[in-house]
Amino acid sequence: MTNILDDYALVSPLRYRNNWLKLTIITFGLLMGVSSQSFILPFTVAFCMSFATVHFGKIPVGFYLKLLSAPAVFVILSVIIIAFFFGSGTELFGFNVFSYRFGINTGGLDMALLVFSRTLSGMSCLFFLALTTPMVELFSVLKATKLPDSLIELSMMMYRYIFVFLEVAWGIRYAQTVRLGYKDWRTSLNSLAMLATTLFIRSWEQGEKIFISMSARCYDGRILFFEEKRPVRATELILTGTYFSAILVLWYLTNDISIF
Amino acid sequence: MHIFEGFLPSPWWQLWFVFSIPIIFFGIYRLNKLVSEKRELLPLLAVAGAFIFVLSSLKMPSVTGSSSHPTGTGMAAILFGPAIAAVLSTIVLLYQAIFLAHGGLTTLGANVASMGIIGPVAAYIIYKVGMKANINFYVVVFLAATFADWITYVVTSLELALAFPAEVGGVAASLKAFMLVFATTQVPLAIMEGALTALIFKYVIQVKSDALLQLNVISESVLDKIKGASQ
């Protein structure tokens, strides 16, 4: 029903690499992509991160492409609006609707292409993190930051229960589907409401039970986890350094290039 | 409606973080106070957050044919109040970005502002006003969840319009354009979610109404009235 990217991250060969290195790489990519003024740099970042995900992370190419197309509807709609309404310059093409003039001009098309490339680079950075680093690893990073304990506790417990409830939800959904619970629009609405209610009640009761069982094990508001030390290897450092400097040089060279 | 990664240029994504972060911290402050008073609430909030995440990963039957999913933020606001709903939505949005590739990290601030803060606040206000005015409980829930979605969608359009103002007509013109285009999916979707939320509350009241009493969602007199009417 839904692809949980975490499943892929758990078996990824890059899982046991240093978390901070991976976070640095994606933060760098995100910031470079979003602040670039030319479409060349974001496309390059997107290509590098996709290559790293598919090649080093051993993610099937077909699956990866399907993931990249997930935000397509939203992105395409918004990019079209930007192309029509944004920017100035010579008009490339246009038409009249009820005496309104709709046209794409060079400025708008440049902007649309830039936004599209930024989204692509951002998504590929995000996928790199999502497909190589399971949430379990990120909790140790979260703990090292000075975020409030209650927030981190809440996220960890939530994470744990997402999978429990997903299984319940899928089970119920299967059972409803084979009993024609989704045969038409009205029935599906009712079935979905029943599913959600059962889930709510289950989760409520589960919540009460966890509190009892955790209190019995001396829970005092902090769950402690075992953390491994994973030093950054020299080859990784060199590769990352080369990638960073290449991107920075490219940024310096191409920052004012656009198609028009 | 999520804004995807990389879509908002500087300085807009930073500005939305500046807007959201103080409110999230206020939510955490409220959360800490609540949890120190009632220790059993933290696991309960955690399962509620997981519930919202799972709800949002279920596809909803949609009129337009495109598959859509409920956001659950209106429901969270009614159950826990807007401050805690903001904290829960932030975590849910972070997980959606990382697990489902919905939304993004740089756009997290903007998404939290529209889906975690402004939408739930609207739902909460509508709920409180509606209950004061003695309107039927299910109608109020329906309106609160529907308007939470609509306001979220208006705010998202505004976030996009501010970042990409039109050459002719400025922010107002591009706001109109974004709203028109997204209205085709968002208007029916919000009505669906409103109906779904009202139905969920109907079943919850039938089966486990004490949970709602414990959270101070409804008073006992209202509950008696609803139960009396359905029997």
The answer, yes or no, to whether ipTM is higher than 0.95 is no
Residue-wise pLDDT for B168-178, tens only, equals: 777 888 888 88
Q: Does B221 touch chain A (CB under 8 A)?
A: no
Contact A164 B50 (CB under 8 A): yes
pLDDT at B60: 54
pLDDT at B118: 92
How many Cβ atoms sit within 10 Å of the Cβ of residue B222? 15
* CB < 8 Å to A185, chain B: 61, 63
Residue-wise pLDDT for B69-124, tens only, equals: 667 788 888 888 888 888 888 888 888 887 776 778 888 899 899 888 998 999 99
Is residue A140 predicted with pLDDT exceeding 70?
A: yes
**Rounded CA separation A138/B215 (Å):** 32
| B16, containing H or E segment | helix B12-37
Q: Does B28 touch chain A (CB under 8 A)?
A: yes
Q: Give the 3-state secondary structure of residue A66.
A: helix
A230-234, A252-256, B87-91: least confident range: A252-256
A55-69, A91-105, A221-235: least confident range: A91-105
pLDDT band at B144 (very low <50, low <70, confident <90, very high): very high
pLDDT at B67: 46
A8-12, A243-247, B81-85: least confident range: A8-12
* CB < 8 Å to A104, chain B: none
Q: Cβ distance A244 to A28 under 8 Å?
A: yes
Q: At what angle do helices B220-230 and B170-214 cross, to 10 degrees?
A: 90
Is residue B133 predicted with pLDDT exceeding 70?
A: yes
- What one-letter code names the amino acid at B40? E
How many Cβ atoms sit within 10 Å of the Cβ of residue B41? 20
| A97, containing H or E segment | strand A91-97
Judge whether B3 lies within some domain: no
The proportion of chain A whose per-residue pLDDT surpasses 90, expressed as a percent, equals 1
Report the alpha-carbon angle B151-B156-B162, nearest 5: 120
Number of folded domains that form chain B: 1
Place of tokens 């609207």: B122
Q: Which residue has the higher pLDDT, A215 or A88?
A: A215
Output the six-digit token pair for A58.
């051993």
pLDDT band at B62 (very low <50, low <70, confident <90, very high): very low
| Residue-by-residue DSSP string for B47-106 | HHHHHHHHHHHSPBP-TTSS-B----HHHHHHHH-HHHHHHHHHHHHHHIIIII--S-ST
Residue of chain A with shortest Cα separation from B94: A155
Residue-wise pLDDT for B188-218, tens only, equals: 878 888 888 888 888 888 877 777 777 777 7
**Rounded CA separation A100/A177 (Å):** 48
Quote the mean pLDDT of chain A. Answer: 80
**Best of A24, A119, A176, A177 to disrupt the B interface by mutation (most B CBs within 10 Å)?**
A119
Contact B55 A206 (CB under 8 A): no
How many Cβ atoms sit within 10 Å of the Cβ of residue B206? 12
Domain positions in chain A are 1-134+231-260, 146-227
Q: Does B167 touch chain A (CB under 8 A)?
A: yes
What residues does B166 pair with on adjacent strands? B170
| A95, containing H or E segment | strand A91-97
* CB < 8 Å to B92, chain A: 158
pLDDT band at B140 (very low <50, low <70, confident <90, very high): very high
Nearest CA among B53, B86, B96 for reference residue B72: B53
Output the six-digit token pair for A69.
């197309």
| B220, containing H or E segment | helix B220-230
Output the six-digit token pair for B139.
């109608």
- What one-letter code names the amino acid at B221? S
Is residue B199 classed exposed, middle or buried when 0-12, 13-18 and 19+ CB atoms within 10 A define those classes? buried
* CATH at residue B187: 1.10.1760.20
Q: Which residue has the higher pLDDT, B1 or B73?
A: B73
Q: Cβ distance B8 to A33 under 8 Å?
A: no
* CB < 8 Å to A162, chain B: 50, 53-54, 95, 99
**Rounded CA separation A153/A138 (Å):** 13
Alpha helices by DSSP H, A179-222: 185-216
Alpha helices by DSSP H, chain A: 5-10, 19-35, 40-51, 61-68, 72-85, 106-132, 135-144, 149-178, 185-216, 234-254
Place of tokens 């794409």: A104
Q: Does B80 touch chain A (CB under 8 A)?
A: no
pLDDT at B142: 92
